[in-house]
Each structure stands twice: as structure tokens, then as C-alpha cells.
Amino acid sequence: MVTRYRLRSALLNLGLWLIAGCVVVYFGYNAVHGQRGLKAQHNFEIEIAALKADLGRLEHQRATLETRVNELRPNSIDRDILDEEARTQLGWLNPNDRVLSDVR
């Protein structure tokens, strides 16, 4: 009877330690390899850096477009810029223009 009690107690202790060890291993594995683990955090940082670079490029492009739009507003329009832009967009030439081609 005493032997069974000791065996049962030992197996219960062993089972509890085994379950606790499995829980620690599970959470440790997910802390490193999980969806929000250390490796995922590293990938997030790489993605954030790429998106910040893309944001900087887009902000520069937006600033350039805003300056071009401001130059074409009716109160600050420059006839030369308007003429140049219209000719570029439409592909027209003035009869007094001279065209130089770079032939190599």
C-alpha cells in the first residue's frame, strides 16, 4: 500500500514537472518563432525600414507635384512655363522653333 502511494506520488510529481516543462517549452518556442516572436519582430523592422524609405520617396514626389501645381495656379501663372508644359504634353512646335537632334 505504501509502495503504491509513493509510486503514485512520484508519478504525479513527475507528470506535473513534465507538464510544466512542456508549457515552458511551448511558450519559449512561440516567443522566438511565433507570429509575434523575435524573428517576426526582426521581419517587421525590415518592413518598417522599407516602408519609411518608400514614404520618403513619395513625400518628395508629392512636394515636387505640389510645386508644379502651384506654378500653374491662375494667380501665379508664368506664361513661359505654361507654354513649355503645353508643348511638352501635346507634342506641338511653334513655327519659329528650331529643332536640334542629337545624331550619333
Verify that 39 and 80 share a domain, yes or no: yes
- Grid coordinates representing 53? 524609405
Confidence of residue 90 (pLDDT cuts 50, 70, 90): confident
Q: Is residue 5 part of a domain?
A: yes
**Same domain for 23 and 39:** no
Q: How many structural domains is the chain composed of?
A: 2
Q: Which amino acid is at 43?
A: N
pLDDT value at 25 more than 80: yes
Residue 12 is part of which domain span? 1-33
Which distant-in-sequence residues (6+ apart) come within 8 Å of 9 by Cβ?
none
pLDDT above 80 (res 74): no
Q: Is the dihedral of CA 90, 92, 97, 100 positive or negative?
A: positive
Answer whether residue 98 shows pLDDT above 90: no
Q: For the whole prediction, is pTM greater than 0.85?
A: no
Task: Judge whether residue 22 has pLDDT over 70.
Answer: yes
Instruction: Determine, yes or no, domain membership for 104.
Output: no
